[in-house]
Amino acid sequence: MIRLGINIDHIATLRQVRGGTTSYPDLLHFCQEVAKAGADQITIHLREDRRHIQLSDLKMLSKKSPLPLNLEMAMTQEMFQFAKKYKPAWVCYVPEKRKELTTEGGLDVVKYKKQLKKQIEKLQTLGIEVSLFIAPQLDQVLAAAKVGADAIELHTGAWVHLQGVRKNKEWSRLKKSALLAESLGLRVHAGHGLDFVHTQKIKSLPFLKEVNIGHFLVCEALNKGLRHSVLQMKKTLKS
């Protein structure tokens, strides 16, 4: 079975739109709902600009999350210290730019091999497994193995948005990267931009062990869960 990680960042986004002045939406409640639905882990991205997940969320979820925690983070000393302190089950290193709307590409493992290797070794001694969020490029897969990562998470965002021949070429790149990763002893994960249609396809990626999905499912919840909320509010107004 392919593991499903649910990224709850954009539930926190709704809270932070009001500057974090509300107690809702309650992240722990939604983590519990995710667990009841059969998901396998909770994924959060503690960004340097704190646009959604806050340090207080990491502190709370490290103690109370009903599922293993996967912490996405930039390759900074500050984030490294947080990971050491709160000990999530997984750390996923991701690239990060202050002005980006969402993660725009893969981590350049080739460029940062020395720094990554040191941090990965220290995290693994604490029992934390490490994945690297990379574009489907063979040199990046090779570098991920050399720095001692446990897994790679292939960036599926470009593939999701492309069409026709270009989409097929990107799929070929994903497939070749997955095959190489398996041969090097790396677990294959995937994520970014996945919806129901693309998740149906990504299941056929060789040796895929895990997907992490967030934005689409939070948006889908508005379609499937809003009716109940409105009905309940009407009842509240009538009572």
Q: Which residues does the annotation mark as catalytic?
A: 45, 72, 192
Q: Which long-range CB contacts under 8 A does 136-141 form with residues at least 24 apart?
A: 136/106, 136/170, 136/173, 136/174, 136/176, 136/177, 137/106, 137/173, 137/177, 138/176, 138/177, 138/180, 139/110, 140/106, 140/107, 140/108, 140/109, 140/110, 140/177, 141/177, 141/180, 141/181, 141/184, 141/186
Strands 129-134 and 41-45: unpaired
Spatial distance between the Cα atoms of 214 and 72, rounded to a whole number of angstroms: 12
Locate 156 and state its tokens: 């599926």
CB 106 within 8 A of CB 137: yes
